[in-house]
Amino acid sequence: MINDHPEIADIVDAASRLSGHAIRTPLLECAAASELTGGRILVKPEMLQVTGSFKFRGAFNFISRLSEEERRRGIVAFSSGNHAQAVAAVSRHFAAAATIVMPRDAPAIKVEATRSFGAEIVLYDRKEESREDIARELMESSGATLVPPFDHALTIAGQGTVGLEIAEDLALAGATPDQVLVPCSGGGLIAGIATAIKARFPDCRIFAVEPEGYDDTGRSLAAGSRQSVDIAAESICDALLVPTPGELTFSINSDLLAGGIAVPDETTYRAMAFAFRHLKLVAEPGGAIALGAVLDSSVDCRDRTTVVVMSGGNVDASIMREALSASV
């Protein structure tokens, strides 16, 4: 296992493993956002990925490299939902038994989808119990392998295939990106994307977009060291509530990112409604947040080419109804 910073070759290798299993999501022009900002806005819609989020890529890259014997002993993961579904789906693909530790307040759609892939679910209290401890106990009793949600080179290389596809599609279109905005929680997605994009477009600026109150990566980048936020904060972005950047992801991100942007929940709701109306895409809150940073002008897009990564679409209908009522 590599555990140093993954390189572009590791991402290219992950892409060849994923080929035929993951969906190669398109890069979509967003005419409405382009008009609004006076720039060119392109969207990478990872809600169209298998299991409804980019997480399938990292989980597949990791699990595909386990031995038969390791898979036989089972798979464990902890996740608020998107990683859970991805690990459950990939485990089923490889005929491995999966146990997923999920917070009791995870969206129903995510818990049900994870169960539908045949995984066993263990629920815990996000504010009182340690999911790491629960997962460790499971591993010790069965010999199962933990699939890291973000802080592992193979996970990061898998997520990096999002960036590789963006870079390939931009090159085909003869376009050069000025900036790429990526939703950020533990930092695996953006670390992988930044590695891929910077390899092909060294001058492109990559920004981490986080919910207000959970802007640990932004604060850490500003401070130059890993900072934690208070997990008592509330945010609609259930997928982005990790309070501290990963060790490996922060090491990569502090090398490659241009900074962090914090977005309030109202803006995220507005971005969900905008995606519904203009892109015909269902975005979960955490999936829409980078689009929010464009809509509320947190990032200057005028006369620039901006790529917005939309990371997932696993949202309960009740939350979407709220977003549509509030904003359309």
Residues interacting with its own copies, by CB under 8 A?
Answer: 20, 23-26, 28-29, 31, 45, 47-48, 50, 52, 109, 173, 273, 276-277, 279-283, 313-314, 317, 320-321, 324-325, 328
Which residues neighbour 141 within 8 Å (Cβ) at sequence distance 6 or greater?
Answer: none
Rg of the chain (C-alpha set): 18
User: What is the smallest separation between the CB atom of 252 and its own copies, expressed in angstroms?
Assistant: 28
User: What is the smallest separation between the CB atom of 245 and its own copies, expressed in angstroms?
Assistant: 27
Q: Please name which of 13, 85, 60 lies closest in space to residue 239, comparing C-alpha atoms.
A: 85
For residue 81, count other CB atoms closer than 10 A to its CB: 28
Residue with smaller CB distance to its own copies, 223 or 317? 317
Residue with smaller CB distance to its own copies, 108 or 222? 108
User: What is the smallest separation between the CB atom of 38 and its own copies, expressed in angstroms?
Assistant: 16
Q: What is the set of active-site residues? A: 55, 311
Integer angstrom CA distances of residue 188 from 157, 232, 253, 305, 313: 9, 23, 9, 24, 18
Residue 26 sits at φ, ψ, to 5 deg, of -80, 170
Residue with smaller CB distance to its own copies, 266 or 300? 266
Residue with smaller CB distance to its own copies, 49 or 99? 49
Whether residue 326 contacts residue 273, with contact meaning beta carbons closer than 8 Å, is answered with: yes
DSSP state of 312: B
Q: 7 is written with which tokens?
A: 């390189």
Residue with smaller CB distance to its own copies, 59 or 273? 273
Residue with smaller CB distance to its own copies, 121 or 324? 324
Tokens 């904060």 identify what position? 233
User: What is the smallest separation between the CB atom of 145 and its own copies, expressed in angstroms?
Assistant: 24
Question: What are 57's strand-pairing partners?
Answer: none
Question: What are 278's strand-pairing partners?
Answer: none
User: What is the smallest separation between the CB atom of 317 and its own copies, expressed in angstroms?
Assistant: 4
CA 207 to CA 299: how far, in whole Å? 9
Exposure string of 228-242, with b = 16+ CB inside 10 Å and e = fewer, is ebeeeeebbbbbbbb
Whether residue 66 contacts residue 90, with contact meaning beta carbons closer than 8 Å, is answered with: no
User: What is the smallest separation between the CB atom of 133 and its own copies, expressed in angstroms?
Assistant: 33
Phi/psi-derived region of residue 224, left when phi > 0, alpha when psi is between -120 and 50, beta in every other case: left
Q: 177 is written with which tokens?
A: 């990106």
